[in-house]
Structure 1
Amino acid sequence: MDVATRITVTSPEQMKDLGRRLAELLRPGDLVLLTGELGAGKTTLTRGLGEGLGVRGAVTSPTFVIARVHPSLGSGPPLVHVDAYRLGGGLDEMEDLDLDVSLPESVIAVEWGEGKVEGLSEDRLHVVIERAVGDGAAGDADDARGVVVTGVGPRWAGADLASLTG
């Protein structure tokens, strides 16, 4: 049975903070799928994951390198940040990145991974980021996002995803 929680985020800093809180739940071997339109906040959330995991290097969009490894500065797992946007071949094309080799000791965050990387693990977190729809009257409404975090598989069955609501 999947476990899910919904969070409203109203600024890029709150999105990064959500990533830091999410990092507290992660451990080596975890796969995180990030779904949302361009500019939704996937990379901003991943930046927070990197800060929360204590990894080296600035977390930026890996669009042109496809995958970037951020080693841990301490005893935590490295973060492998993948942008699957330009990969159309599903898991076959992803195999060239050797993510299955990195997965046991790393946290892997895959932007645009839906429908492409689920085969890597029966256990995964699926983070869907959507722009909040409003009447346009509020000045900062453009930054509002609805984030749904769903834990899939036995690893997440007892997880307290509600703790992410901060």
Structure 2
Amino acid sequence: MKKKLGLFLVLLLGVSVLTTGCGKSANEKAAEKSLEASMGANADVNIEGDNVNIKTDDGTWSAGENISLPEGWPEDVYVTEGNILAAASNSLGNSLTIVSEKSVAELKKEYQEKVSENGWEINMSFDTEGNVLYGAEKDDRSLSVTISTDDEGQTTVMIIESQIQ
């Protein structure tokens, strides 16, 4: 009897693990169908708490709290410390949105130094009332870094690295 009960519990555990691990929520399935229909491509949508991760044949997109850098993030594109809220990567480039505890002035200096140190040529700089924008080029790529504060005083850094078309 003990042996049968043990076997039953193992089978029950196995079935529950399989059905839990393989099942997608209705929201994930609906999002996948919607993306696939609009893009004409396969999409894998994963929703974990407040985080959303989407993977398609063309790339990845993630949003939420403390997102990881996209796989293959270019080593010559500097990323400051902070909470990554959104990340995207595809064959044409990469992007990040970061919330930092640093001030706009600190980040302005930091990015000006790091962008140049990494071999990028800054070809545009715009600075006005708490907003900074850098444009840079390197080989056949362009880089855009926007540093700004919102109404609550939170500093946001947006980075876009892409192929020059």
Q: Do these two structures clear the TM 0.5 threshold for a shared fold by scoring above it?
A: no
Which structure's residues are more often strand, by fraction? Answer: 2
Q: Greater CA radius of gyration, 1 or 2?
A: 2
TM-score (norm 1): 0.29
